[in-house]
Amino acid sequence: MVYMLNKDMFINDIFPRLRKLVLHYPFHRPSHEHLQTVGLPSLHHLCNLHSLNIVDFLELPPHENAFPSHLTKITWKQVRVRNDFCVMNTLGWLTNLQIFKMGRQCSQVLFDLNVAAGEFPQLQVFQMRGMKVRSWRLDKSAMPHLQHLLIESCEYLNDLPEELWSLTYLAEVHALWPSQILANTLQNVNLKNGCKIIVSHAPPTGQSDQNSLTDSLSVHT
């Protein structure tokens, strides 16, 4: 499929009603560090595409016009991060995007997550799993409709942006296996609008996930 897209083989003519696309490249190999990163070609011509699932080393295009305007969900797994991680600036201007999940970073680069004002105007669900993010900046009016946030196993992230707690529709923040600093910080957040914070820690040795320690804070208005 990636070959066909790169060769401009009119995928929209072949699959005119394509609504969900999964791109997986390359096949699993023991070492991730020495695999070549392949650029994801422009998908703008897939006018009916609503869900995009990217697995392994497909590098996203640097401009939002490369994506269909109707995209509502993006899942990006086995993320290769470089020093100039600007994917948020690219995807932030997809005006219909409601769900964005990224996780399992396969490179060792620490990066800063910057979400500028006005970006992700319709995003409701944001998930980060196993990402080496060291800081997160959220400008005012960014992600205004965010409702559910999941931060899982992001060991270098020690704080969440203060602007997050002013979001009108934020209902739940779930920190799964956070750093101890982040876990402690979340215990002292001044919650608004009935938002609930869930902090889940890894279960002790020999216990199942069902017995994991979970602390839950909630405020009802």
SS3 of the chain: helix, strand, coil, percent, to 5 = 15, 30, 55
**Domain segments of the chain as ranges:** 2-218
The token pair at 58 is: 């497909």
More confident residue, 215 or 163: 163
Please state, in angstroms and rounded to a whole number, the distance separating the CA atoms of residues 209 and 221. 32
CATH architecture of the region 2-218: Alpha-Beta Horseshoe (3.80)
Segment 16-45 mean pLDDT = 68
pLDDT digits (tens, 9 = 90+) for 52-85: 988 875 677 777 678 888 899 999 887 777 665 6
Q: What is the pTM of this model?
A: 0.81
Omega before 144 within 30 of 0, i.e. cis: no
More confident residue, 18 or 221: 18
Q: Are strands 214-218 and 196-200 parallel, antiparallel or unpaired?
A: antiparallel
